[in-house]
Amino acid sequence: MILEARDLTASYGAFRALDGVSLAVDEGECVSIIGPNGAGKSTLINVLTGVLRPTGGSIRFKGRDIRGVGPVALARLGMARSFQLVHIFPDLTIIETLQAAVVSRLGRGTRLFASLAGDREVQAGALEVAELFGLADKRHALARHLAQGDKKLLDVASAFALRPEIILLDEPTSGVSTADKTAIMETLVAASRTIGLRAIVQVEHDMDIVFGYSDRIIALHEGKVLADGPPARIRADRHVVDIVIGRPRPPSPARVADA
């Protein structure tokens, strides 16, 4: 088991966003977290990655207690993440953005980009990731000029450039076309195999992506775990489907009469 959380709670004032959430992620798994808006999905990712401190419960990564450990320290331990809203530097090129991640991984954050021009290790590391994500041909393009799909890829690629053992993705395919969603996931899976990533945890709304790429699905509702199981079991659970995915409701008699 690479990541485990027990009885996590997290609150915003009087509102409890997480209420006793427990989960475990085994090596080799791709786990998707689903749920309606307000279920606590992004809060859970923020807690697991050290962005938000939980108000209760425990988190262990590779057997180590990481509750309260910040995201920078977690990245050094082998955990990285991407964000629902793309977090890239708009005035940097693709290769510069990836170099920044490589610099962080190598512990050279105090050096300026100008001094890294001759750093072959940084250049090679950034170019390798650019090639893995199909961005090498555009490596000198400014991030702000990229299409949304490429911005998403760059955000995920930046996390991969940290060479994590586990990556947590918050809506990796949001805001892109259906074709781009599949391309992003295929690229992500291929890159994971290449770098030897041990596990993936993702928050995702697109059910085709969820059921097509997950080994296991965790459904959240009102800050609690509603279900946890393989895709076939989740798909067959009518209660979970009704709450998380929703079913079309029959028209009311009044609407039928009006039709």
CATH dotted code for 3-258: 3.40.50.300
| Token pair 């809203």 in the structure block, residue | 85
> Which value, to the nearest 10 degrees, does the dihedral of the CA atoms of residues 237, 239, 244, 250 take?
110
Per-10-residue mean pLDDT, the chain, length 259: 96 93 96 94 94 94 91 90 65 90 75 60 91 94 89 89 92 83 91 93 93 96 96 94 69 41
Domain ranges of the chain: 3-258
Distance separating alpha carbons of residues 184 and 17, to the nearest angstrom: 29
Tokens of 140: 């000198």
pLDDT in tens, 150-208: 888 898 899 899 899 999 998 888 878 888 889 889 999 999 999 899 999 999 999 99
Predicted model pTM: 0.86
